[in-house]
Structure 1
């Protein structure tokens, strides 16, 4: 099979499923053959990215990410997507060793968020690992924007939603989510980035509106165009 998009997924599985659904929904296709070809590698056993970054033990994840990327490259993929925001810390480490491009979810999202922010700060809702790396902070500054992230007590709520609820397959209490929104409102944020793909899975469940920028949605649209498909 030729002209495939390779997906390093399984981080987590629900986020990968959501990405493929968005990829399909964003493609203007009247028949199967008008969709883009996709090879999904759901590497659910990938070590936890946040834990690796916080502990400094990054080599096992870097090595696993590189092996997955090289496998997809060898399989004939023309470009890659990693369906995990925190994983982009490792994407930046392995990209120089690849012959094919990685569609960078963080950078693409930052550009779109700044364009839509109207000059207001962009709020970043993400894992502790993603925040520690400065991935979004740097990307937003490079795009000409400013950013805010949750105060410490609210960040604990964000992490609980990600790990104790979405990853664990439990429902999220809308009232808990409102405490997150209120904290970001207090910091003057306009747009909010769902900077963890587990949070992307909540977009429809909690009826999160256009204020929210969903990285999975952003990179799905970019992937359709990059791979020669037509956007719906």
Structure 2
């Protein structure tokens, strides 16, 4: 005998930044959903929008703006009465306020999810090692953590570009279709350099971090903002909070 499906909201995910990260974020939502049958999952629309220009290049180097394509994705969700939206790119949240103006749906924010998680699960953490894009760091997307008395520790400029950013954008990097061993080596080199700065916790503040890093690889606490964002989406869409 079938029961009445739980009340739930529709979710839209803007992916394509990169494509692998968008699919992984959707998988996280599925994994966290408290259901036992197909019909109880929330409706999810994933727009893997490969036309969105690079966010860091736009913010820091006057590259093409992603704003128009992000708005196209957000506006497209309105056709399907989507009530919650999230983006599989932390740097894209630089455009959060402008995007929210183009939709009645609630755009979930990964830094809000991170702040809530730290307050409840790790209130004593004071030094966070942040793995994020140069665009997200320079744009101050995570600055609210500093306002809460948390020290944000990042790689130095050279390590940020030659280790972390290189691991994302190089041929065979984390944004490519096939990730090379060389990219993995650079990525974990960045993790090691950050870990060596005596941080209390590592935070994956970029959607690509989710591809390679998990808590089992570290001897200190680890928080993945895409993971936290997925959990917040599940709570919101199932009216659990």
Residue 18 (1) aligns with residue 28 (2): no
How far does the alpha carbon of each residue in 1:88-142 deviate from its partner, in whole angstroms, 9 at most, with x for none?
A: 0012332233222100013312442465262331111111111110101x12124
Which structure has the higher relative contact order (CA within 8 Å, separation 6+)?
Answer: 1
With the length of structure 1 as denominator, give the TM-score of the two structures.
Answer: 0.87
Residues 195, 214 of structure 1: 8 Å contact kept: yes
Partner of 1:186: 196
Partner of 2:175: 167
Partner of 2:4: none
Residues 118, 125 of structure 2: 8 Å contact kept: no
With the length of structure 2 as denominator, give the TM-score of the two structures.
Answer: 0.84
Root mean square deviation, CA, Å: 2.4
Residue 41 (1) aligns with residue 47 (2): yes
Aligned positions, number: 227
- Greater Rg by CA: 2
How far does the alpha carbon of each residue in 1:34-71 deviate from its partner, in whole angstroms, 9 at most, with x for none?
A: 2111111110121111111112356x311221121111
Q: Which structure carries more helix by proportion?
A: 1
Residue 145 (1) aligns with residue 165 (2): no
Residue 200 (1) aligns with residue 210 (2): yes
Residues 90, 110 of structure 2: 8 Å contact kept: yes
CA gap 1:63/1:222 in 2 versus in 1, 3 angstroms: same
CA gap 1:64/1:22 in 2 versus in 1, 3 angstroms: same
For 1:141 and 1:33, the matched residues in 2 are separated by 42
Name structure 2 gaps, 5 residues minimum.
1-7
How far does the alpha carbon of each residue in 1:1-27 deviate from its partner, in whole angstroms, 9 at most, with x for none?
A: x83101111111100111111111111
Residues 123, 193 of structure 1: 8 Å contact kept: yes
Higher deviation after alignment, 34-43 or 96-105: 96-105
